[in-house]
Amino acid sequence: METILTVCAILITLAFVSLAVQAILTLQQVRHTAKAVEYLALNADGKLTALDPLISGVKSVTDAVSSGWFTAAKTVYGFFKRD
């Protein structure tokens, strides 16, 4: 009976140590990822403002597509389309 308890205690200790090692490795990776995200956030601000003209162009196109003129043109096209 003592042997079984000793084996169980050793197994529990090994499981706890492996869990602690895995937790440390995971926290190191989380810290590394957080640093990379912080660097990206600090450097992306200038790059994203360069995309403002492109974003406003896309917005104007989508506004034109969803306007009444496009809906009317689609309706007229539907009259002449063969099914």
- Tell me which of 6 and 72 has the higher pLDDT: 6
Q: How many CA atoms lie within 13 A of 12 on its CB side?
A: 6
Whether residues 35 and 67 share a domain: the answer is no
Whether residues 39 and 26 share a domain: the answer is yes
**Which residue segment(s) compose the domain that 7 sits in?**
1-50
Q: Does residue 37 carry a pLDDT above 70?
A: yes
Please report the pLDDT score of residue 82 as a whole number.
65
Whether residues 18 and 56 share a domain: the answer is no
Q: Which of 52, 70, 51 lies closest to 61 in space, CA to CA?
A: 70
Coil, helix or strand for 44?
Answer: helix
